Chains A and B, each alone.
Chain A
Amino acid sequence: MKSILKPLLMIAAMAMGMTAAGTLPALALVELNVNKGNVEPLPIAITDFQGGDALGAQISQIVTADLKRSGLFAPIDKSAFIEKITNPDAAPRFDDWKVINAQALVTGSVSKEADGRIRAQYRLWDTFAGQQMAGEQFFANDANQRRVAHIIADAIYERLTGEKGYFDTRVVFIDESGAKNARKKRLAIMDQDGANVRYLSDGRSIVLTPRFSPNRQEITYMSYESGQPRVYLLQIETGQRELVGNFPGMTFAPRFSPDGQKVIMSLLRDDGNSNIFAMDLRSRSTTRLTNSTAIDTSPSYSPDGSKVVFTSDRGGRAQIYVMGADGSGQTRISFGDGVYSTPVWSPRGDLIAFTKQTGGEFQIGVMKTDGSGERILSSGFQQEGPTWAPNGRVLMFFRDSAGGPKLVSVDLTGRNEQPIPTANFASDPAWSPLLE
């Protein structure tokens, strides 16, 4: 199996200061306050990176697409540019950029090193302050061209918003093809923008609900390959697979603990109900967390590992509950009008995303961890299964329309919904942490 998560050994970052700019007194630089309710997208000009033939334009295009899709930036059309950047290391003519209202400007260059590596560098300029805000260079091998662009986009995003980016990430999902009553489902992985799709299973067995390990190297998922549906562990790089636990019945709805040492999942009881168990991947010991004559499923750890949020229909219809990681203090937190499921704890710890069914609709929403402050971000005929971007500001989920599911992202304002391009139908997305 081809290595796809090989550490980016060749990437090295180096800060680049402009001697002149570096000595300027600190001015109030342009910044985006993403905590405001209604963020006006920041007009930004992203010029083609110099050199590298088509590669310079391609890097610029990937950076532009990433920033635009975030909803926080409004990249300015290149045809409006007045100054043609010829030396990306020299200060631009700021007036030329102010007049087209570019509050921030990105210049850069890309070149081939003697050893075959690519060297990409960028500079971020505050046009109204007339000063450089950031500058870095990266070295990468050919296979990581797109990653370099995503890393630059993350750096710009972080410099301008004060929040970590999420562009240098991957998504595991289920690729779906064929008729609805004979759907072929394959485990697949791609970059967060839909590029570089690779298949991790052959489609002979139904596979569902893949989830990333915090170490980025493993996936836990459910497969019917043995006949009885069970939870498996897959090493992405080697393709090595193993069964998680040796339980008598169906195991499903797996997720990793934040330290990657445990998988938490549902186990079917003989009476037809489902309870939640955690298995330590090293000692192989299992711990029962719930013991109810109900459906208890979709467990998800809080980022500090101290709590678990899950779905249960013990009160009649499916609702969201929180308990300690040892199963203590099981408490219902959702009380709205509808059925709640697929709770997922935000990586920031502040919110729980969920799917809610009400009034014939499926909604994607968030609530605080005590169940208060519910906000619906997206409503549709059939949609479910949110997953968090690692910075906790964007969700991805899947929506059924026009014959099958497709992936969609939405930010926490609910105003910026974006389709994720996939060749086939796609479902069950799970976002990776930022790559290393």
Chain B
Amino acid sequence: MGRIAALTRNPVMIALVAMLAIAGCASKKTPNNAADLGLNGAGAATPGSAQDFTVNIGDRIFFDTDSTSIRADAQTTLARQAQWLNQYKQYAIVVEGHADERGTREYNLALGARRAAATRDFLVAKGVSASRLKTISYGKERPVAVCDDISCWSQNRRAVTTLSGAGS
């Protein structure tokens, strides 16, 4: 289900990961995105590839506690995402909504869903076709950061734009 699993199933993607690892580029512009995929470099990805999107555009935005409003920094990221998605129309898109652990399970499923919907709506407002976009909520079930403090929670309150490539 996760993006890492999806990557390892795709030989083209594996080749790209290997290439990036060899290149070993030190730049860490967007550590939250690249580091999670085990990608140490940025900028070397083929334009229009999923890596290009994740590393150079930024695949995720973050939210304030118990909030679903798109912050100013997130708006910048989403505008960049929309521009890229409008350029590379071969991708179908799933927006994942996530919550931190500081809420109850059922409520956080609803909160993650609302974050995914808010993100989707922003992308649509920036011209991405609604027919390409689906959403899914993982509530607090898929944290990326696993410590028990504020620095972690802020990374887990997120919406991640994932490319399924079904249209390519």
Contacts and interface: CB of A to CB of B under 8 A. Distances in A.
User: Which secondary structure dominates chain B's binding surface?
Assistant: mixed
B143 to A, nearest CB: 5
A341 B107 contact: yes
Nearest to A355: B104
B143 A297 contact: no
A208 B146 contact: no
A250 B106 CA distance: 12
B107 A297 contact: yes
Contact of B110 (A180, A222, A274): A274
Contact of A208 (B66, B101, B102, B141): B141
B141 A295 contact: no
A341 B103 contact: yes
Most chain B beta-carbon contacts within 10 A, residue among A180, A357, A381: A180
Contacts of A63: none
Given A206-B141, A271-B117, A252 B109 contact: yes
Interface in B51-87: 66, 68
A272 B105 contact: no
B142 A342 contact: no
B103 A357 contact: yes
A339 B66 CA distance: 11
Contacts of B144: 181
A209 B106 contact: yes
Contact of A250 (B66, B103, B105, B113): B113
A400 B135 CA distance: 28
A272 B117 contact: yes
Interface string A200-230: 0000001011000000000000101001110
7 contacts: A250-B113, A268-B113, A272-B116, A298-B107, A341-B103, A342-B106, A355-B104
Interface of A: 179-181, 183, 185, 206, 208-209, 222, 224, 227-229, 250, 252-253, 266, 268, 270-274, 295, 297-298, 311, 313, 317-318, 339, 341-342, 355, 357, 381-382, 384-385, 400, 427-428
Interface of B: 1, 66, 68, 101-107, 109-111, 113-118, 121, 135-139, 141-146, 148
